[in-house]
Homo-oligomer: A and B are copies of this chain.
Amino acid sequence: MSKEITSRAEDYSKWYNDLVVKSDLADHSAVRGCMVIKPYGYALWENMRDVLDKMFKETGHVNAYFPLFVPKSLFEAEETNAEGFAKECAVVTHYRLKGDPNNKGKLIVDPEAKLEEELVVRPTSEAIIWNTYKGWIQSYRDLPILINQWANVVRWEMRTRLFLRTAEFLWQEGHTAHATRQEAVAETTKMLDVYADFVENWMAVPVIKGVKTPNERFAGAEDTYCIEALMQDGKALQAGTSHFLGQNFAKAFDVKFSDKENKLDYVWATSWGVSTRLIGALIMAHSDDEGLILPPKIAPLQVVIVPIYKGDEQKAQIDAKVKGEIVPALKAAGVSVKYDDNDNARPGWKFAEYEKKGVPVRIAIGARDLENNVAEVARRDTKEKNSYSLDGLPAKIVALLDEIQQNIYNKALNFRNEHITEVNNWDEFVKTLDEKTGFVAAHWDGTGETEEKIKELTKATIRCIPLNNKQEEGACVLTGKPSTQRVLFARAY
């Protein structure tokens, strides 16, 4: 088998793209910047979505669906100062194609079917949702509204990469409305905790919870909370955001409620989202040069069983044992399992294929194994192989899957922790970013100008001010001005 995947050392960026395409997660499409999420990649997304959806519902949220299109004027309501503003987005201007009268077989946009008002394909749904909430909210009894939406959104990105940055992507966006500032802030941090729980305990990717600087905030937010993860190339990736929107959207869309004392006030808001970008984070946090490494708790397939046989008789014996006993027993133990007895491919080819696809556990069973009542069990994460007795196999596999989940997380956590470096002067700052990479914990004078200057000089941004950050006296790494805490800088996706 030829080397399909570029190694990380050779070209990290090409490794990533090769991996996504060759492991059948996704592919480029005929539409610039838009991807096709292939069945294997979509099964992964379904697992992630289902876990998140359950978490949202357990925290009191319900799903709804709002229109794909946002009339242009609603963005004007949102943008308090539209001059100089530009939004890269897909704009629908017409509603009909027709046959080209001058060119048989070709289609043209019918100039007579021009919309009175252009429609924007939603880049996010605050505008259309708050315009809707206006009709739903009169009194404190209508609050809180705790709604989530699973949807596709479009942002006209110039440089795209599969999962990480695509023109169209899938995501969820929570949009909540509250009677008090306190309740809205509590919702914002609650959802940040939900995201951190999901990314750490299901995706096995450790994250740092923090708050963005004003420069890095979502437009329209009073505070943007985020979780930041670290990739194997030492670059950070924002894995999710939760925004406290204050009364900004309520004011833009005139959404008021009467409180218990019959006093009118603007509604308090939050929004929060994660997207298919998380799949990019998952890949870059764990995978290696042979392919994906997927955490068992969200892997589309946890265990694959490959028979090793010569001739029909051996095959029949293995079939009987695997189909009759092992597969049903594993399924009964809650393990997703596939018996790959396709005889068009040899075991070695299958091993490489499932390795590439990141299936956490591979079980190989031959005729002699059957005689000895054992099977060879290989872990994808460490590549260890061990002979397991078939007695009590399901419980052992369940325990092994747990161990793999934990090991993947620990490995990523160690890497992340080794890549948080405290630096105290500019030379160290630049050197650490260039050589060691990762997060750089440095003092900063708190001004947007300094932040901008550091970005210009190093391409590093302030990823976040960690929650419950230690307060300490220090001097800004660039300006030497006084500072009371370190913030986390990094180059980022």
Contacting pair B86 A64 (CB below 8 A): no
Interface size counted on chain A using CB atoms at 8 A: 74
Contacting pair B79 A107 (CB below 8 A): yes
* A87 close to chain B: CB less than 8 A: yes
Q: Which of B79, B86, B107 contacts A82 (CB 8 A)?
A: B107
* A480 close to chain B: CB less than 8 A: no
Contacting pair B39 A119 (CB below 8 A): no
Q: In the complex, which of the residues A63, A76, A91 has the most CB atoms of chain B within 10 Å of its own CB atom? A: A91
Q: Please report the C-alpha to C-alpha distance between residue A104 and residue B67 in the assembled complex, in whole angstroms.
A: 27
Q: Which of B63, B86, B98, B101 contacts A110 (CB 8 A)?
A: B86
Contacting pair B95 A88 (CB below 8 A): yes
User: In the complex, what's the smallest C-beta–C-beta distance from A169 to chain B, in angstroms?
Assistant: 10
Contacting pair A43 B62 (CB below 8 A): yes
Q: Please report the C-alpha to C-alpha distance between residue A271 and residue B74 in the assembled complex, in whole angstroms.
A: 37
Contacting pair B97 A154 (CB below 8 A): no
Q: Which of B39, B46, B107, B119 contacts A90 (CB 8 A)?
A: B119
| Contacting residues of chain A (60-102) with chain B, CB-CB under 8 angstroms | 62-72, 74-76, 79, 81-101
Q: Mark A35-53, 1 if CB is under 8 A from B, else 0.
A: 1111101110110000000
Tally of this chain's copies:
2
* A29 close to chain B: CB less than 8 A: yes
* A106 close to chain B: CB less than 8 A: yes
Contacts of A87 in B (CB 8 A): 96-98, 107
Contacts of A36 in B (CB 8 A): 64-67, 132
Report the nearest B residue to A156, measured CB to CB. B95
* A344 close to chain B: CB less than 8 A: yes
* A319 close to chain B: CB less than 8 A: no
Q: Mark A6-43, 1 if CB is under 8 A from B, else 0.
A: 00000000000000000000010111001111110111
Q: Please report the C-alpha to C-alpha distance between residue A170 and residue B79 in the assembled complex, in whole angstroms.
A: 30
Q: In the complex where A89-B97, A93-B91, A118-B109 touch, is A42 in contact with B69 (Cβ < 8 A)?
A: no
* A348 close to chain B: CB less than 8 A: no
Q: In the complex where A64-B36, A76-B106 touch, is A89 in contact with B95 (Cβ < 8 A)?
A: yes
Contacts of A96 in B (CB 8 A): 86-89, 91, 156
Report the nearest B residue to A100, measured CB to CB. B82
Contacting pair B95 A92 (CB below 8 A): no
Report the nearest B residue to A87, measured CB to CB. B97
Q: Please report the C-alpha to C-alpha distance between residue A135 and residue B24 in the assembled complex, in whole angstroms.
A: 13
Contacts of A62 in B (CB 8 A): 39, 42-43
Q: In the complex, which of the residues A90, A109, A128, A131 has the most CB atoms of chain B within 10 Å of its own CB atom? A: A90
User: In the complex, what's the smallest C-beta–C-beta distance from A31 to chain B, in angstroms?
Assistant: 5
* A288 close to chain B: CB less than 8 A: no
User: In the complex, what's the smallest C-beta–C-beta distance from A259 to chain B, in angstroms?
Assistant: 15
Q: Which of B93, B95, B104 contacts A94 (CB 8 A)?
A: B93
Contacts of A75 in B (CB 8 A): 97, 107
Contacts of A30 in B (CB 8 A): 67, 71, 74, 128, 131-132
Q: In the complex, which of the residues A39, A84, A135, A141 has the most CB atoms of chain B within 10 Å of its own CB atom? A: A39
Contacting pair B93 A31 (CB below 8 A): no
Q: Which of B38, B79, B85, B92 contacts A92 (CB 8 A)?
A: B92
Contacting pair B95 A90 (CB below 8 A): yes
Q: Which of B70, B95, B99 contacts A84 (CB 8 A)?
A: B99
Q: In the complex, which of the residues A29, A74, A95, A147 has the most CB atoms of chain B within 10 Å of its own CB atom? A: A95
Q: Please report the C-alpha to C-alpha distance between residue A361 and residue B321 in the assembled complex, in whole angstroms.
A: 48
Q: Which residues of A contact B (CB under 8 A)?
A: 27, 29-31, 34-39, 41-43, 45-46, 62-72, 74-76, 79, 81-101, 104-107, 109-110, 118-121, 128, 131-132, 135, 141, 147, 151-152, 154, 156, 168, 170, 344
Q: What 9 pairs between A and B have smallest CB-CB spacing? A: A34-B67, A39-B62, A37-B65, A95-B156, A82-B99, A86-B98, A91-B94, A83-B99, A31-B67
What are 9 A-B interface contacts by the 8 Å CB criterion?
A: A30-B128, A34-B69, A75-B97, A83-B99, A85-B99, A89-B95, A90-B119, A92-B121, A141-B344
